[in-house]
Amino acid sequence: MFSPPIHGYLLMPEMPNFVDCIMKQTGLLLLILSLTVQLVQAQPVVILPDRKLSPVLQNNIKLLTNKQEQVFWIVTSNIDSARKYFTQQRIPVRILEERTGGLLVVSAKGAIIHSQVLTLPFVRFVDVPRQPHEELAIGSFDNSLNTINLVHSRFPQLTGSNLVVSIKENKPDTTDIDFRGRYISTPLSSNSISSHASYMATIIAGGENSFYTGSGVVPAASIVSSNFTNLLPDTDNAYKQYGISAQNHSYGTGLENYYGADAAAYDASIINNPGLLHVFSSGNSGNQTGTGLYAGINNMANITGSFKMAKNILTVGATDSFGNVAVLSSRGPAYDGRIKPELIAFGEDGSSGAAAHTSGAVLLLQQFYKEKNSGSLPPASLVKAALVNSADDRGTKGPDYLSGYGSLNSYKALQCLVNDQYFSGSVAQGGTQTFSLPVAANIRQLKLTLCWTDPAAIANAPKALVNDLDIELVNNGNGQVWQPWVLSAAPIIDSLLLPAVRKKDTLNNVEQITIDNPAVGTYTIRVKGFAVPTGSQLFFIAWQVTAADQFQWQFPVSVDYVKGGENNLVRWSSSFNTNTGLLQYSVNKGVSWQTINNATPLAAGSAYWPAPDTFQTALLRMTINGQTFTSDTFTISSVLPLMVGFNCPDSAMIYWDKVPGVNNYTVYRLGEKYLQPLLTSADTSLIIRQPGNLLWYTVAPVIGNRHGLKAYTINYQTQGVDCYLKSFLVDLEDENTGLLTAEIGTAYNVKSISFEKLTGKGYQLLQAFQPVTSLSFQLNDKNLADGVNTYRVKIELTNGKIIYSDPQSIYYFLTTRYIIFPNPVKATSTLWVLTKEEPQNTHLLLYNTMGQKVLQYRLTQTAESIPLPGLKSGIYFILIQKNGKKDYSGKVMIQ
């Protein structure tokens, strides 16, 4: 039904979910004709120049007349036949790569592809690589919406240790201290370094060395980079060689609603590497008009890249901090009506971060399963089932094309593996496998999700699904049957926005059933092999039950910091039917409580709390129907600025302000991979002995038996502080006054600060500041000399040591029109000429003592640097002519 005819090449994806209901009605022929008219009205018929061409090539037919060689993807029925034919017939097609599934990456002229390749019977599909671009990402930080912080608190051993994540795009900054000691250099990476790639790597695997916002989901995972100029997956050998178990793809191309060679390649990649999961951002084109079957429909079907149409991957959309789908987050359906994206996650104004958070969650589940199962990675379809089944439903009840199956909930997904809440099995054609599931009393919802890794479809297939499995849930007590939730795939906006209905699913390899308030009893899960052309299909079912009257704090938990004096968004999950609760906090270990809101809406799942401006430990509690739910102990803290006092050859000093009520501070120093505590002291400064190669430091207040927020980690040698002197500036003020300003890093051990001026007798004192009670100093010099006025700062320490600044100069035009310096000047250096006005037709001439002209230079700028090539040491005479007349004369000594 709705398959393309042999002639005319009308491409229209199959829509069995939409058509099945029509087939059951009377007046079959009339209804089919009516439907066809509706579809034609909604989607214009496209006559293709060749049914083997991808839509990208159809829309860029000039690529097939280009006389320059370029890269093409050719999908063949047999690679050996293609290779042999190209060689024997001497067709100028150069094979660059051979991939599974009959895919050839070749270099050829477009005209050759069009005239000599497309017509070959073993050629099924031709496409062309597109230019990838990074999806937008911003610097906001929130690891609580998707309960990543809750996993860190309850499972501190899950850090991504012994796992490798690949970030496919440009190369991250490998010198970033948040990746220290964990980046693996490989030939796969790009030569171009990108801040976007660094941000993705930080979200996934940041080591929290720079600041708390540099904390990744799996801070101990190793990081590999792969160049996204190759839109195809890396080779199977590469994934195996480097031990890669998850690959993040936060990039897109254009709106491409078809199942391309790249989509088939990613489906095959997961089949060939069962423990590998690819995670893609959905894109940032959510406000654009759909293409393909859904052309002309606003704000739908705008996922950015045909590779994101793969079935076995995860495609992730973006939300704000409240879990609302971001306006720019790309939406489904996929080209054939499948549910895309499968998940949404935090990535405010950008789906890049959403994919990165999800990639990190994949690694959390992989590590837990691996440690529980003797080092074996979980199959990708199990991880995908757990993540999809545990997602928090958003927007329209049930799955939808905006939020997929819901918002990533890392903690719930992990519970699926912790509690073995999953089944596995396999079915062949016509076979059925059943599982028994008891359901206790007081359950708000039962949810189960079927997922399988489906064989790759043929490129440009009208429907991607190959093996069609069906899931049903049966109440053994009364025989009631529930089918999975299915969305309308009809290319009409009203239909696409309809809520899901229960029916047979013939499009997706993810199927989900939910029951609200299920009756107590035993249920049977049935999985049928409706269409399994060859062999049998392995599958996984994840399940969970949500008990009534449960409450859980999600932020803050034990690993979190609440910022003092700021509004903080606290989070929880609740299965109470009650509308409101009493929200309170305590800063004295629960002795007394302060009310935040006595009617907090529970369904919101979050509330703002203006935390007190303090450095203390605290508790939150929610009271519902007389029951109280108290949070973990957490820390209220503010960022403690860390500063450099001096950076001298033999020692350096870092210091910080004293915090009222805090008696001790812990200083951390960056080690081989992570920050390590160096010492805990009541002092507010630390002297570091030099020279040394341990340059990165931070400090945190000690609050009870916990630590507050660490300061931004600094490299004390790059903070602009020299040996006590932080800055020294001189400038001309009011045309006749020299303004001198200086700043030191600390007054520690400083006896005096002096400004000095260079005269014919050497440097002379202008003013001294003693005792030193400030860090900033200023002086006005009203006695400027004609020409160059040079100054320096003198710092005298209590131990008698003297420190001088570099000299700084003011150039003062009083009677002269030209200032020439330095004098003497080295022959290997340059001579500077400053002019009071923009020079016009002005030349500098240099004569030796014999009267011979040795240099002529045209002055074009008010500050001119003149090289002195080959001049010998001695006295030279300078003549500056303007419009051919003498304007200045003088002498200069060359050394």
Question: With contact defined as beta carbons under 8 Å apart, do 470 and 452 qualify?
Answer: no
DSSP one-letter string for 667-716? EEEE-SSSEEEEEEES-SEEEEESS-S--EEEEEEEETTEE-PPPPPEEG
Confidence of residue 822 (pLDDT cuts 50, 70, 90): confident
Asked whether residue 506 is assigned to any structural domain, the reply reads yes
What are the pLDDT digits (tens) for 263-320? 999 999 999 999 999 999 999 999 999 999 999 999 999 999 999 999 999 999 999 9
User: How many helices and strands (H and E) does the chain possess?
Assistant: 13, 55
Residues 174, 254 within the same domain: yes
Tokens of 131: 């230019």
Question: What is the chain's length?
Answer: 895
Give dist(CA 164, CA 182) in Å, integer: 9
Tokens 């004390």 correspond to what residue?
716
Residues 557, 681 within the same domain: no
Question: With contact defined as beta carbons under 8 Å apart, do 251 and 135 qualify?
Answer: yes
Domain containing residue 801: 725-812
DSSP one-letter string for 537-589? EEEEEEEEEEESS-EEEEES-TT-EEETTSEEEEEEEE--S-SEEEEEEESST
Residues 756, 683 within the same domain: no
Question: With contact defined as beta carbons under 8 Å apart, do 120 and 71 qualify?
Answer: no
Residues 477, 524 within the same domain: yes
Residue 33 reports pLDDT greater than 50: no
Tokens of 268: 């095959």
Confidence of residue 349 (pLDDT cuts 50, 70, 90): low
The pLDDT value recorded for residue 50 is: 62
Residues 210, 242 within the same domain: yes
Residues 530, 607 within the same domain: no
The pLDDT value recorded for residue 137 is: 52
Residues 231, 89 within the same domain: no
Tokens of 124: 């099924």
Tokens 């066809």 correspond to what residue?
36
Asked whether residue 309 is assigned to any structural domain, the reply reads yes
Asked whether residue 410 is assigned to any structural domain, the reply reads yes
Residues 735, 860 within the same domain: no
Instruction: Report the CATH number at residue 394.
Output: 3.40.50.200
Tell me the helix, strand and coil percentages in the chain, rounded to 5: 15, 40, 45
Question: In 3D, which of 193, 190, 191, 211 has the Cα closest to residue 202?
Answer: 211
Instruction: Report the CATH number at residue 590.
Output: 2.60.40.10
Helix (H, G, I), strand (E, B) or coil at 368: helix
The pLDDT value recorded for residue 735 is: 81
What are the pLDDT digits (tens) for 510-532? 999 999 999 999 999 999 999 99
State the average pLDDT over residues 703-727: 92
pTM for the structure as a whole: 0.84
Residues 608, 732 within the same domain: no
Asked whether residue 428 is assigned to any structural domain, the reply reads yes
Residue 36 reports pLDDT greater than 60: no
Pick from 679, 711, 743: which residue ends a domain?
A: 711
* Omega within 30 of 0 (cis) for the link into 771: yes
- Reported in sequence order, the residue ranges of 27-158 that DSSP labels E, i.e. its strands, are 69-76, 94-99, 103-109, 123-127, 133-134
Asked whether residue 39 is assigned to any structural domain, the reply reads no
Pick from 762, 783, 812: which residue ends a domain?
A: 812
What are the pLDDT digits (tens) for 762-792? 999 999 999 999 999 999 999 998 888 999 9
Pick from 545, 574, 594: which residue ends a domain?
A: 545
State the average pLDDT over residues 443-472: 97
Question: With contact defined as beta carbons under 8 Å apart, do 666 and 702 qualify?
Answer: yes
Confidence of residue 244 (pLDDT cuts 50, 70, 90): very high
Asked whether residue 12 is assigned to any structural domain, the reply reads no
Residue 40 reports pLDDT greater than 50: no
State the average pLDDT over residues 698-720: 93
How many domains in the chain?
6
State the average pLDDT over residues 135-153: 84
| Terminal alpha carbon distance of the chain | 93
Residues 61, 208 within the same domain: no
Instruction: Report the CATH number at residue 846.
Output: 2.60.40.1930
| Sheet containing 725-733: order of strands | 725-733, 737-744, 776-781
Confidence of residue 350 (pLDDT cuts 50, 70, 90): confident
What are the pLDDT digits (tens) for 730-750? 999 888 899 999 999 999 999
Question: In 3D, which of 25, 277, 64, 52 has the Cα closest to residue 163?
Answer: 277
Question: Greater confidence, 785 or 507?
Answer: 507
Residues 173, 286 within the same domain: yes
Residues 172, 202 within the same domain: yes
Asked whether residue 476 is assigned to any structural domain, the reply reads yes
Asked whether residue 46 is assigned to any structural domain, the reply reads no
Confidence of residue 536 (pLDDT cuts 50, 70, 90): very high
Question: In 3D, which of 388, 410, 416, 419 has the Cα closest to residue 153?
Answer: 410
Q: Mean pLDDT for the chain?
A: 91
What are the pLDDT digits (tens) for 189-236? 999 999 999 999 999 999 999 999 999 999 999 999 999 999 999 999
CA distances (Å), origin 156, targets 104, 159, 368: 45, 7, 11
Give dist(CA 342, CA 360) in Å, integer: 16
Residue 9 reports pLDDT greater than 70: no
Question: With contact defined as beta carbons under 8 Å apart, do 464 and 259 qualify?
Answer: yes
What are the residues whose beta carbons fall under 8 Å from the beta carbon of 781, sequence distance 6 or more?
737, 738, 739, 740, 757, 766, 789, 791
